[in-house]
Chains A and B, each alone.
Chain A
């Protein structure tokens, strides 16, 4: 096959897909501020996306905090490690690992579920049925998921931050024999409000990415069960990549000065 044709097709597909995704995101966001609002569905999605993701995020954060404490301890000058471990665990969790790992875990769980649900609705004509019942599918399906994800991700990540720092504390005090009082004091002294808020802002953006990618892939799935499977995979892969890429951009913006 002609290599130029392959390059041309890839470029056209990429630009076409980017354009479609941009229009979809714009439509999704513009409908969030225009009535009618489906409060019942938003509450339902907050439960599904937020509450049911809590165990996954909590376990991930706890073990990440613990592992971080161990690695910093083994990799540093162990004579002075008590304050270094507490500081780096707190900063690492709140600034980066809490939001990014929390976002990735929720992307795996929620983005896939959204894509599968909406993809099935698409191939079984349920989305068309919504239109014939004078109900805008964007308002009914996309808006509740986007709103719920943007609200719940920061809450999940905040809880994850606390549990992650707790993980570091448990390993530090139980395995590495640090003094509990000193560990807590060092954490409180070094942690600033900006460290926490930057992570929470990041997580709200990750929530938007997760919901939009799940909805976009689900809305555009076709071809029966195989199409739904492909939409699910694409939702997880694209949302994970976008989370990592946007995290780099946001870190550059927040901490460059």
Chain B
């Protein structure tokens, strides 16, 4: 287990968080901190507990033990009303965008403004069109439905939705998965510029190293539900951790063994 505290000004702080599903331990006494205004990327293989960690912070999954603080407030002890208030600080880009397919694109983007901030639909629509412009989409796209968009466009709309309420914290769940390398780089650039413009704190999870190198200030590696290494982006190639070396170089041989049946 490893944690880092480069500043006392922490936006998110997880301490000793554990979660299991049945007999499978998904998070094992996990501790991790994200400094205010910084971008932390958590890398790790499939099934290592990355998504569960994000969902625990958002309150979508309740951990068995541990402490999760956002701006110093323990979210696990917050009342439902307080939790709703805390959630207004967040924006999230989901792995498959998770756009509401019954709503047009502009209403997807404006959703947090209309329902979370109780803004008038007309005003929210104007902001939504502006945010679509920021992610390189024309106003005409706003009238389309998510099913009419390509995967890359859906990710952009998801990003526009995540930043529409100008949140203090943005989560990116596998932001480049399923995209071609060029579109993946476009999304990475948009993430970097959006986070920088908002001055937001970002927590991303990915197994795409190109993406991690581009959007991270700090990188942490999760393995079997534990954070096994944390450092700055520039330190990743000389981490001195054989798990990290194997992962970033994409080698089959090493301490990380995949559960595959061999003939």
A: residues with CB less than 8 A from B are 36, 117, 121, 124-126, 128-129, 131-136, 140
A128 to B60, CA, bound (A): 7
A133 to B58, CA, bound (A): 11
- Collect the chain A residues with CB atoms within 8 Å of residue B84's CB: 134, 136
| Nearest 4 Cβ contacts at the A-B interface | A134-B116, A125-B98, A129-B98, A133-B112
Of the candidates B96, B102, B171, the one whose C-beta lies within 8 Å of that of A125 is B96
Looking at the assembled complex, report how far the CB atom of B118 sits from the nearest CB atom of chain A, in whole angstroms.
8
**Closest B-chain residue to A131, C-beta based?**
B60
- Collect the chain A residues with CB atoms within 8 Å of residue B88's CB: 134
A36 to B98, CA, bound (A): 23
**Closest A-chain residue to B158, C-beta based?**
A129
Q: Would you call B177 an interface residue if the criterion is a C-beta within 8 Å of the partner chain's C-beta atoms?
A: no
A126 to B94, CA, bound (A): 9
A125 to B112, CA, bound (A): 16
**Closest A-chain residue to B88, C-beta based?**
A134
Looking at the assembled complex, report how far the CB atom of B71 sits from the nearest CB atom of chain A, in whole angstroms.
16
Which chain B residues numbered 85 to 138 have a C-beta less than 8 Å away from chain A?
Answer: 87-88, 90-92, 94-96, 98-102, 111-112, 115-116, 118
- Collect the chain B residues with CB atoms within 8 Å of residue A126's CB: 98-101
Interface size class of B (residues with CB under 8 A): 20 to 34
Q: A128-B55, A132-B92, A134-B115 are in contact. List 7 more A-B contacts (CB 8 A).
A: A36-B115, A124-B96, A125-B94, A126-B98, A126-B99, A128-B60, A131-B58
Given contacts A126-B100, A129-B100, contact A135 B111 (CB under 8 A): yes
A178 to B84, CA, bound (A): 65
Are A132 and B58 in contact (CB-based, < 8 A)?
yes
Given contacts A124-B98, A125-B98, A129-B98, contact A134 B87 (CB under 8 A): yes
Looking at the assembled complex, report how far the CB atom of B237 sits from the nearest CB atom of chain A, in whole angstroms.
33
B: residues with CB less than 8 A from A are 55, 58-60, 84, 87-88, 90-92, 94-96, 98-102, 111-112, 115-116, 118, 161, 165, 171
Looking at the assembled complex, report how far the CB atom of B142 sits from the nearest CB atom of chain A, in whole angstroms.
17
- Collect the chain B residues with CB atoms within 8 Å of residue A125's CB: 94-96, 98
Please indicate which of the listed interface residues B88, B98, B112 has the most CB atoms of chain A within 10 Å of its own CB: B98
- Collect the chain B residues with CB atoms within 8 Å of residue A132's CB: 58, 87, 90-92, 171
A128 to B98, CA, bound (A): 8
Please indicate which of the listed interface residues A121, A126, A136 has the most CB atoms of chain B within 10 Å of its own CB: A126
A135 to B98, CA, bound (A): 15
A117 to B100, CA, bound (A): 11
- Collect the chain B residues with CB atoms within 8 Å of residue A135's CB: 111-112, 115-116
Are A134 and B112 in contact (CB-based, < 8 A)?
yes
- Collect the chain A residues with CB atoms within 8 Å of residue B171's CB: 132
**Closest A-chain residue to B111, C-beta based?**
A133
Looking at the assembled complex, report how far the CB atom of A49 sits from the nearest CB atom of chain B, in whole angstroms.
15
Are B59 and A131 in contact (CB-based, < 8 A)?
yes
A135 to B117, CA, bound (A): 10
- Collect the chain B residues with CB atoms within 8 Å of residue A134's CB: 84, 87-88, 112, 115-116
**Closest B-chain residue to A135, C-beta based?**
B115
- Collect the chain B residues with CB atoms within 8 Å of residue A128's CB: 55, 58, 60, 94, 98
Looking at the assembled complex, report how far the CB atom of A62 sits from the nearest CB atom of chain B, in whole angstroms.
33
A256 to B153, CA, bound (A): 63
**Closest A-chain residue to B164, C-beta based?**
A133
Looking at the assembled complex, report how far the CB atom of A83 sits from the nearest CB atom of chain B, in whole angstroms.
52
- Collect the chain B residues with CB atoms within 8 Å of residue A129's CB: 92, 94, 98-100
- Collect the chain A residues with CB atoms within 8 Å of residue B59's CB: 131
- Collect the chain A residues with CB atoms within 8 Å of residue B100's CB: 121, 126, 129
Looking at the assembled complex, report how far the CB atom of A133 sits from the nearest CB atom of chain B, in whole angstroms.
4
A129 to B59, CA, bound (A): 12
A53 to B118, CA, bound (A): 33
Please indicate which of the listed interface residues A117, A128, A134 has the most CB atoms of chain B within 10 Å of its own CB: A134
A248 to B108, CA, bound (A): 45
A132 to B87, CA, bound (A): 6
| 12 residue pairs bridging A and B, Cβ less than 8 Å apart | A124-B96, A125-B98, A126-B98, A126-B99, A128-B94, A128-B98, A131-B58, A131-B60, A132-B87, A134-B84, A134-B115, A140-B115
- Collect the chain A residues with CB atoms within 8 Å of residue B55's CB: 128
Given contacts A128-B55, A128-B60, contact A133 B98 (CB under 8 A): no
A124 to B88, CA, bound (A): 22
- Collect the chain B residues with CB atoms within 8 Å of residue A117's CB: 102
A121 to B103, CA, bound (A): 13
- Collect the chain A residues with CB atoms within 8 Å of residue B111's CB: 133, 135
Looking at the assembled complex, report how far the CB atom of B26 sits from the nearest CB atom of chain A, in whole angstroms.
15
